Structure 1
Amino acid sequence: MVTLVLVPLAAVTIVGMILLWPAAAPRDTAGDAGTRVRATVVSIDGRGAFAQVGETAVAFAPPQGVTLRTGDKIVLDSVKDPATGVAVYTYRDHQRSTPMIWLLALAVAVVLVFGRWHGLASLAGLALSFAVLVWFVIPAILDGSPPLLIAVVGSAAIMLGALYLTHGVNVHTSVAVAGTLASLVVTGLLGAAFTASMHLSGISSDDTLYLSTTRATIDLRGLLLAGIVIGALGVLDDVTVTQAVTVAELAAARPRSRRELYRSAIRIGRAHVGSAVNTIVLAYAGTSLPLLLLVAVSPQPLTELLTSEFLAQEILRAAVGTIGLVASVPITTALAALVAGYDPAERPVNVPRGPSSGGH
């Protein structure tokens, strides 16, 4: 089973990455005019805001809607006034590197303390996923390659690397990989079908509008589908691995026929799906909370809002992701039962008949 799944899928994924590997994408430097400098706020009051840049105190335009206090570490944009030649400073952002480093270190420590070697393997899988996204998926999309195809190839690379690295090269992981791949196909096909039928353009925010004007080669509808596929992968691998291991443990505790294994494991899967569906919907709701607030105060009729482009995209993501998640349970359970169970005509010696097989 390991060879049957791993070798062909790995070969296709490697060939796909080689063929689609991006050229160096030029960076957009339209908004990079001026110089960014690190500074420390020394005073801010009704007269204005002042910060220390090196040995010099400079005045800067205070931000709207951002609270600054004396001692805050900030980043300023410095642009020379063409008329006077004097540098004009404006607030850009806070310096966050130190607290972010501490937060990431704490997260790594928690994973390692609790997970030990499994935790270390999961962190390695996370690093691999991040590397695929940063060095392949994003540059390839910027290079003009079809986003959905890039997402499928990138997801396959992430799935193979992260799952086998985290859970080991064994039958259970291979079943989870096969189940995840099948569920991603379902998710991608549904996403493509309903994106077309709902006439979605992929433009729903300032970010996508900016991309449409500065990167005309990017297929924004494909980008929407790519986001759905990659987002679904993060939930699917958890469900498929759990189902594959569940079937294996049930078979190890008492050998059963494939049908008996499927029936027992699918009951556990239904309970898992119930919580996972709630998780995925709440995750979408959490990331879209500002959008939901705008909906709540909008004077437009609810029916118009729900069918608008920006809300329709969020509904599509949640609905298609949920369907793919639900589909992954019977698919993975059936594959795992096929591998771990036995044919009723080949019942092993000394295996008692369970209640579902007609024993007394």
Structure 2
Amino acid sequence: MNFWKRLPSGLTALLGAVLAAGVLWVFRVEPPPPPLSLSQYVSGVYQRQTQPGEAQIRLNTGQTVTAVTYAEAQPTPGQAVVLNQIDGQYILEGPRRFPLLGALLGLTLLVALAVTGVQGLRAVLGSALTLAALWLILLPLLLGGAPVLGLLPALGGVLALSVYFVHGWNRKSHAALLALLLCVTLGAGLLNLLVGAASLTGLSDAGATVAQASYGVSATGLYVVGVLLTSLGAMNDVAITQTSAVETLAQTRAAQAGPPLSRRALFRQAMRVGRDHAAGMVNVLMLLYAGGSLPLLLLMRASSGTPLWVQVNSEGLFTELAALLLALVSMLLVVPVSTALAAIQHFPSTPRSPDST
């Protein structure tokens, strides 16, 4: 332990990320074998358009080929592109965009370090580890046909990795994680009830339709897991804020050399912060879902011939609105649950104080 304490906090975060990545790799789940592919992807440089629907491309190997251009984005001469080769024919997929993500990631790290210091670095690394856990564990389980309730332990592991890596192994993290697990389990149960009561198929989403047809993945399972993951961001933020508020209130009281606050007093004072925070997060979630459903809302607004209740009754819009409302319920429940757990875990033997009345 003394060795770790002597290391710079930034280096500790990096070493912790490497260790966590190694653990994820050891416990990774192998997905089912993919269908046989008859195509391969190659890179090249766009030269010029030879005729409508065709373009000249110089491959990275130096070979110049003619490619069919179905891509919506028209590359400019000299721009790197991606091609799909099928039976000797090349099809232009579009510009080579993914290197730009490296630049955006670098900018994100710089801003995180400048604004929040090492804590921001830990947050970015924690997000990367969360994505790695989804890729290596949760998604292969979905491809393997695991039921939604069977995915809850894996989802709990992803939550634990995120919370403990960013916020450390302490009572605050314990209380936040327990609150998240309780509310996520409740949210999963409510979502499963909703899927049955509303006879949802999950096939209103094109990606879910392809996944079910190609890999046998349950479209409704994808819907439930997707809603839980979307709401977890707001839930995690609220849970950590509330447990931090309880910790700060207790430490401030101790620094003032006053009598310790009781659990009830801690809960009531921290809930003042939680109510304001939760009210703001309601608007955040509302805008998040509205932005994701903007094309659907636009078509809904333009379709004046269809009654509003009929549009809301359609599975595509119903699932979006139901996801928003259930995410709000789960996020709001995290506020009192995390606050109560933090008050109990931080001070299990705190005597009652006059402030508790």
- Could you say whether these structures have the same fold, taking a TM-score greater than 0.5 normalized by the shorter chain as the test? yes
Return the alpha-carbon distance in structure 2 between the equivalents of residues 154 and 234 of structure 1: 17
- Paired residue for 1:237? 236
Q: Which amino acid in the other structure matches residue 133 of structure 1? A: L
Task: Give runs of ≥4 in structure 1 deviating > 6 Å.
Answer: none
Structure 1 residue 268, shift from structure 2 partner: 0.9
Q: Percent identity, aligned pairs only?
A: 28
Aligned residues of 1:44 and 1:68 also touching (Cα < 8 A): no
Report the equivalent of 2:64. Answer: 57
What is the RMSD of the two structures over their aligned residues, measured on CA atoms? 2.4
Partners of 1:147 and 1:219 within 8 A in 2: no
Shift of 1:95: 0.8
1:177 aligns to 2:177 (yes or no): yes
Deviations 1:319-349 (A, max 9, x none): 11000000000111122223345789x347x
1:159-182 Cα deviation digits (max 9, x unpaired): 212211211111111111111112
Checking the alignment, whether the CA contact within 8 Å between 1:128 and 1:162 is kept in structure 2 is: yes
In the alignment, structure 2 segments of 5+ residues that lack a partner are 1-23, 254-259
Report how far residue 266 of structure 1 moved.
Answer: 0.9
Q: Whole-Å Cα distance in 2 between the matches of residues 97 and 212 of structure 1?
A: 27
Does the CA contact (< 8 Å) of 2:47 and 2:57 recur in 1?
yes
Q: 1:76 aligns with which of 83, 88, 92?
A: 83
Check conservation: 2:180, 2:235, Cα contact below 8 A.
Answer: yes
Q: Is the 1:118–1:166 contact (alpha carbons within 8 Å) kept by the matching residues of 2?
A: yes
Residue type of the alignment partner of 1:75: V
Seen in structure 2, the aligned counterparts of structure 1 residues 148 and 347 have a Cα distance that, compared at 3 Å, is closer
Q: Cα deviation per residue 1:288-313 (whole Å; 9 max; x = unaligned)?
A: 22222222333432211111111111
Post-superposition Cα deviations, 1:80-102, rounded to whole Å, max 9, x if no partner, equal 4xxxxxx4322113212321111
TM-aligned CA deviation for residue 111 of structure 1: 1.9
Change (3 A) 1:104 1:23: closer
Q: Could you tell me which runs of 5 or more consecutive residues in structure 1 were left unpaired when the two chains were aligned.
A: 1-16, 81-86
How do 1:1-360 residues align onto structure 2 when only pairs under 5 Å count? 22-29=29-36, 32-44=37-49, 47=52, 48-53=54-59, 54-63=61-70, 65-80=72-87, 87-150=88-151, 152-216=152-216, 218-254=217-253, 255-298=260-303, 299-340=305-346, 346-347=351-352, 353-354=354-355, 357=357
Contact persistence 1:41–1:71 (CA under 8 A): yes
TM-score calculated relative to the size of structure 2: 0.83
Asked whether the 8 Å contact 1:148–1:222 carries over to 2, the reply is no
**SS of structure 1 residue aligned to 2:225:** helix
Task: Give the CA deviation at 1:243.
Answer: 0.1
Q: Is the 8 A contact 1:257 1:342 kept in 2?
A: no
Aligned-pair CA distance for 1:137: 0.6
Please state how far the C-alpha of 1:39 moved relative to its aligned partner.
Answer: 1.8
1-structure distance, mates of 2:313, 2:182:
30
Distance 1:63 1:340 in 2: 61
Which residue identity lines up with residue 71 of structure 1 in the other structure? G
SS in 2 for 1:55: coil
What TM-score does the superposition give when structure 1 sets the normalisation length?
0.82
The 1:343–1:136 alpha-carbon spacing in structure 2 relative to 1, beyond 3 Å, is closer
